[in-house]
Amino acid sequence: MNAEAGQSFSILVLHGPNLNLLGLREPDIYGRITLEEINAQLRSEGEVLGVNVSCFQSNHEGALVDAIHAAWGKESGILINAGAYTHTSVAIRDALAGVAIPTVEVHLSNIYKREDFRHHSYIAPIAIGQISGFGAASYRLGLIALIHYLQQSDSNS
Ligand code: DQA
């Protein structure tokens, strides 16, 4: 869905398993910010940038796949932190590839500084890019990068 004069982009923010526990969960790694605070930051950043931001979290792989399918024809871009499914889920990768909605992958922690099993992402090869290691700011940076990409694509079409 491209933005023309007066029409704005619509971004779906997807959060995977255990991210509902942000604020309580391993604060030394993920910080004290809650998921609701991150979502509120993204919505207000969206308002400043003139894009509509909606957010969804699930601990279930199939629910995330369904949300990606439902985004087809509706959302201009997807910002995703798939949590642990990043490292395991061919289904989420295939859903993102299937709907072909421009996607940016984000992580609060720097996954390359952590255990080896976190170094591989099934999503990275089909994403525009990945931002990892800036805490909650990874989401905001990812949102700006995604909007920048959409605006560039729009002006080239
Ligand atoms: C995470 C990193 C993943 O390895 C982990 O399973 C998460 C969170 C992050 O945001 O740093 O749940 O995606």
Read off the tokens for 23.
């604020």
Among 14, 81, 140, name the best residue to mutate to test ligand 1's pocket (greatest count of ligand atoms within 8 A of Cβ).
Answer: 81
Q: How far is the CA of 105 from the CAs of 3, 111, 156, in angstroms?
A: 22, 12, 23
Among candidate residues 78, 68, 58, 53, the one with its CA nearest the CA of residue 18 = 58
Among 20, 92, 109, 115, name the best residue to mutate to test ligand 1's pocket (greatest count of ligand atoms within 8 A of Cβ).
Answer: 109
The pTM for the full model equals 0.94
The values of phi and psi at residue 121, to 5°, are: -120, 130
Check if 89 has its Cβ closer than 6 Å to any atom of ligand 1. no
| CATH code for the structural domain at 10-155 | 3.40.50.9100
Are residues 115 and 25 in contact, defined by beta-carbon separation less than 8 angstroms? no
Residue closest via CA to ligand 1's atom 1 equals 83
Query: What are the residue boundaries of the structural domains of the chain, listed by start?
Result: 10-155
Higher pLDDT, 7 or 18: 18
pLDDT score for 44: 97
| Residue-wise pLDDT tens digits, 62-100 | 999 999 999 999 999 999 999 999 999 999 999 999 999
Q: Which residues are catalytic?
A: 30, 107
Total Cβ atoms within 10 A of residue 121: 21
Of all atoms in ligand 1, which is nearest to the CA of residue 110?
A: 11
Which H or E run contains 144? Answer: helix 137-156
| Residue-wise pLDDT tens digits, 24-72 | 999 999 999 999 999 999 999 999 999 999 999 999 999 999 999 999 9
